[in-house]
Homo-oligomer: A and B are copies of this chain.
Amino acid sequence: MAPGKGCCSPLSDCFFEYESAKVIVIRSKCVGLINRLIQASIVGYVIGYVCVIQQGYQETDSVISSVTTKVKGTALAKIPNLGEQVFDVADYIIPPQGENSFFVLTNLIVTQNQTQSTCPELPNPSTICTSDSDCTAGFKDVRSNGIQTGKCMNYSDTVKTCEVRAWCDLEIDTYLPKPALLRDAEEFTVLIKNSIRYPKFSFQKRNILPHINSSYLKQCTFNRQTDPDCPIFRLKDIVAEAKEDFQDMAVYGGVMGILIDWTCDLDMSEHKCIPKYSFRRLDNKNPQNNVAPGYNFRFAKYYKDCDDSDIRTLFKAYGIRFDVIVFGKAGKFNMVPTLVNIGAALSFLSLVNAVSDWVALTFLPKRKYYSKHKYTYLDEDDDMEGTVYGTQ
């Protein structure tokens, strides 16, 4: 009996036999062309789209990055009831060092000489009182500045509010300096050092490119046209590139993203693998649903009084937080994705015949004649001879 494709006896036959399909060659311009065209288009797709555009022949790895930042500049600010003050790096960078993110102080509300004591709450519907009976000792909620003592005190000549145990006097942050106190911050510059790795390809690089020399770095500032490789950025430029106005942002604060895109094709020369900088504002400026707009936080400097009791100066710090976001994928030729993509495309070639057959046997004038030669019908109930003749 005859061996099926899969199994064979005796096994040896497998290796010394070769099966090749019998085919009818239809000499027809029409079908021939259709057939070739579809095949061509598939091959075209593989080469053109998969390989060239989508680079389906590459395996990818995502970036591992390390960032250090150094801000330079000084500003003169006139602080209400504190007078003029010079702010340098140690004053306006909080915390003094950030990993992928640094905060530049641009505006602030200072409340000096707070002590642990008691004072009337800030007036608001839930704190205004007429007599002690309106205040409950020990009461506090998320919005209150301290723990109520139960007394009702004069907040001002006109208003009485419940007394609280807190850092007194309480901060009054209703009035926010405008323009921002450290408006000069727009002139500050930041040097961003970023070194990245693609562990899978053990490839590493830094954003200070080899062709850049020290003297250039000492005086350059980033400019998309003239100095696209300089890693020193003027804060004003960063904000401007994001289509924002620094002075507006300085008043209420905000979050800026410094995006560094390290997308690289490692099949090309290393020199082509360079960072692309882009800047965008990460917090919503003025959305309809705005709670706690801008960006600010509170911190305090603690002192000891002569009588050794704690005093603090509270700062509500408004400013711009710059998040350095490094991302990117590197691609490099790899056997598996290549063969997967090509293989997948190949399997479409098998569909071509289905189409061409259908055309040939449905539309061509001599379709009957073709199919007669293509098909041999074997009915289970035929006797052999019958069908054999059937094919002639």
Contact = CB atoms under 8 A, between A and B. Distances in A.
A187 B86 CA distance: 39
Contacts of A384: 369
A1 B375 CA distance: 10
Contacts of A210: 288-289
B361 A350 contact: no
Interface stretch (A64-72, A128-136, A153-161, A241-249): A64-72
A62 B62 contact: yes
Q: How large is the interface on A (under 10, 10 to 19, 20 to 34, 35 or more residues)?
A: 35 or more
B165 A76 contact: yes
Interface string A77-89: 0000000111011
Q: Is the interface of A mostly helix, strand, loop or mixed?
A: mixed
Which of the listed residues A5, A14, A166, A188 has the most CB atoms from chain B within 10 Å of its own CB? A5
Which of the listed residues A143, A199, A311, A343 has the most CB atoms from chain B within 10 Å of its own CB? A343
A86 B115 CA distance: 10
A373 B86 contact: no
A100 B323 CA distance: 11
Contacts of A6: 354-355, 357-358
A189 interface: yes
Contact of A4 (B5, B32, B189, B361): B361
A90 B378 contact: no
Contacts of A273: none
Contact of A282 (B66, B212, B374): B66
A6 to B, nearest CB: 5
Contacts of A140: 74, 76
A221 to B, nearest CB: 9
Q: How many chain copies does the complex carry?
A: 3
A147 interface: yes
A41 interface: no
Contacts of A145: 74, 88
Given A89-B298, A327-B64, A191 B292 contact: yes
Nearest to A117: B86
A44 interface: no
Interface string A291-327: 1100101111111101000011011010001010101
Contact of A19 (B23, B54, B72, B257): B23
B88 A167 contact: yes
Contacts of A300: 90-91
A268 interface: no
A70 B317 CA distance: 13
A208 B147 contact: no
Given A255-B66, A325-B66, A27 B16 contact: yes
Given A25-B378, A76-B165, A193-B292, 18 more contacts: A5-B353, A20-B370, A22-B373, A27-B377, A74-B146, A74-B147, A89-B297, A90-B298, A90-B314, A97-B321, A193-B283, A213-B289, A303-B303, A340-B340, A340-B344, A346-B351, A349-B350, A350-B350
Closest 9 CB pairs of A and B: A343-B344, A96-B299, A347-B347, A2-B371, A217-B291, A22-B22, A90-B300, A66-B282, A4-B358
18 contacts: A4-B361, A15-B32, A15-B36, A17-B27, A18-B28, A18-B356, A23-B374, A27-B379, A49-B335, A66-B255, A68-B321, A86-B146, A88-B145, A191-B292, A301-B302, A341-B344, A342-B344, A346-B351
